[in-house]
Chains A and B, each alone.
Chain A
Amino acid sequence: MHVRQTIVRGLLAVLFFLAIAVTLAFLVLPIVAIFVHVPLGRLLHELTNPVVTDALIVSLKTVAISQVAILLLGTPTAYFLASRRFRGRPLVVTLVELPIVLPPAVAGIGLIVAFGRFGLLGSTFDFLGINVSFNQAAVVLAISFVAGPFYVRQAIASFEAVDRNLIAASRTLGASAPRTFFKVTLPLARGGLTAGEAICLARGLGEFGATIMFAGSLQGVTQTLPLAVYTTFEAQNGLDVALAISALLVIVSLAILLALKGSGLWERSRPAVTAIAQPEPN
């Protein structure tokens, strides 16, 4: 009886540590592999490849434009949804959040049949002389559609977290609603807004599925960094270039994550309530 118990316990312990080892190795190995598959010097050299520099320019430009659009349009929307209670509000919030869980390919198809040449607004756009398929405007739309909700969702939560008494206090102290927004609400929500924006930026930078369907992958026009990874990988002897771009994206993503953690805006993976039992040291 005693021996069996000891064996079961030993077996459980082995399984426990095996699970941890498999999980960590599985998550870390692909990242490590990107940097060790070819010598580091080669990676750096490949970064000067015109495919890479073109993609970098397209990515920076489209991500920058989409982030500005998301901030300018998403912030007032989030504030409205956070500060008003009306019938149908849960539905509106859910619709705003839907793209977060939607497969990007579905987003791409949706964008095509909404804004594409033969889509819902296609003829309207035609009439206005706007063309949004297979150009940079399409890339911006794809990024905004897929990444924007990450910002709006976080922004709603941040605005809701601002103490309503502080807003009321501001009003009774003579500040109008707009002044209250800029002097009290916005500064107090800023931390959360920044965190949401950083997640949105990371997601936008990595956007692939919706972009390739809606905007295509034309070098120097619509080919963003993630699209360039795919295209160069498909091409003959393109693996090195694909790895170079991937390494660049890993570093940028890591930088965003570290910046978030450093600023304390990243939700730490520990309970808010102080537990009686502290995690064991080492």
Chain B
Amino acid sequence: MAKLSASFEVPLRSFALELALEIEGTVALIGPSGAGKTSALSAIAGLTRPASGRIALDGEVWFDAADGVFRKPEERRVGLVFQEYALFPHMSVRQNVAFAGKSRVDEYLERFRISQLADAKPTELSGGERQRVALARALARDPGVLLLDEPLSALDANTKLTVRGELQELLREFGLPTLLVTHDFEDAASLADTLGVLVDGKLRQLGSAQQMVAQPADSFVASFTGANLMRGHARHRADGLTRVELEAGDIVYSTDDAAGLVDVVVYPWDVTVGRERHPDSAMNVIEGEIRSVVHVGNRARVRIGPVTAEVTEASLGRLDLVPGTRVVASFKATGTRLLPHA
């Protein structure tokens, strides 16, 4: 498989975007809005010129500040799919796809199941259809690199899951070095092999989704992975555990070593919910009323005091967990990460 090497610096309004990535397979940049994610795509596509650095696809140099090389966007063989898809409103679906390459238009219309929409204008399409047209158009250009800007954010929750599945399949099939940008950890984890967390233009952590869940570099990364974050004050104990007094008043224990102000990280799927206390190995117990229940597919996220637990819909029914119910949330000290507060 081809490899895209990109390391560059782009001055933005209040900070500089500094990125160094080797892209084989699919890499996802995740981070809050305004972190510089889209600017990264712009720089690779040649829509903005970095202040320094080098961008190359295998031996093909697209940008080299030192040698003064700067290829225009049309000379870079990138397939860029815009967040709102940027379909040409004055052209039909067919004309949009044919804009980049006239040779295999029918093949792409067929492949993306948009043949029956060939004569429609983009405004007549649904969100999912627009995305298929945008992907078909980008790939009809026969790119060496695929860049996806928030590929799922313009879709409603129902369409999103279907499209995500299709996208996974597509990325596998085309096997292009792909950089996608998203603010959703779950989307990133399901589409990419490698994730990079970008905050204020800097990469906070680069690794697999599993690594980020297991060992988040900081509380920002932890919050992005969907973990519970609870601020508290940590103190060593003689038995080797760390005792943390949470701001809410509860006391929790962790096997991590820390002192002072910390963020306590617990993943919702590591939290057990019961009607009463059980004499088990979980050291951390938080009692309280259920504040909310949010359904996510076949699971539900239950909020108790400062912590959110993820349980199956089956457990939800069996234990009759509704808002207002007094319950006990428990999780193990070994599953409790402590991140020193910056």
Contact = CB atoms under 8 A, between A and B. Distances in A.
A169 interface: yes
A262 interface: no
A264 interface: no
A172 B88 contact: no
A175 B99 contact: yes
A190 to B, nearest CB: 9
A171 B47 contact: yes
Contacts of A172: 45-47, 73-74, 76, 78-80, 138, 141
A168 B90 contact: no
A188 B90 contact: yes
A274 interface: no
Given A168-B47, A171-B47, A174-B74, A187 B90 contact: yes
Contacts of A188: 89-90
A17 B82 CA distance: 54
* Contact residues of B: prevailing secondary structure: loop
B86 A163 contact: yes
B86 A171 contact: no
A168 B73 contact: yes
A170 interface: yes
A173 interface: yes
A143 B277 CA distance: 90
B88 A166 contact: yes
B86 A174 contact: no
A269 interface: no
Contacts of A175: 74, 99
Interface size class of A (residues with CB under 8 A): 10 to 19
Contacts of B72: 171, 176-177
A137 interface: no
B80 A170 contact: no
Contacts of A5: none
A168 B45 CA distance: 9
B137 interface: yes
A184 interface: yes
B89 A169 contact: no
Interface in A144-197: 163, 165-166, 168-177, 183-184, 187-188
Contacts of B78: 172
A171 B90 contact: no
**Which residue, of B74, B137, B141, has the highest number of chain A Cβ atoms within 10 A?**
B74
B84 interface: yes
B206 interface: no
Contacts of A163: 86
B100 interface: yes
Interface string B47-88: 100000000000000000000000011101011101010101
Interface string A55-96: 000000000000000000000000000000000000000000
Nearest to B47: A168
Interface of A: 163, 165-166, 168-177, 183-184, 187-188
6 closest Cβ contacts across the A-B interface?
Answer: A171-B73, A173-B100, A169-B86, A165-B86, A172-B80, A174-B74
Given A169-B88, A173-B138, 10 more contacts: A166-B86, A166-B88, A169-B82, A169-B86, A172-B138, A172-B141, A173-B141, A175-B74, A175-B99, A177-B72
Interface of B: 42, 45-47, 72-74, 76, 78-80, 82, 84, 86, 88-90, 99-101, 137-138, 141
6 contacts: A169-B88, A171-B74, A173-B137, A173-B138, A175-B99, A176-B72
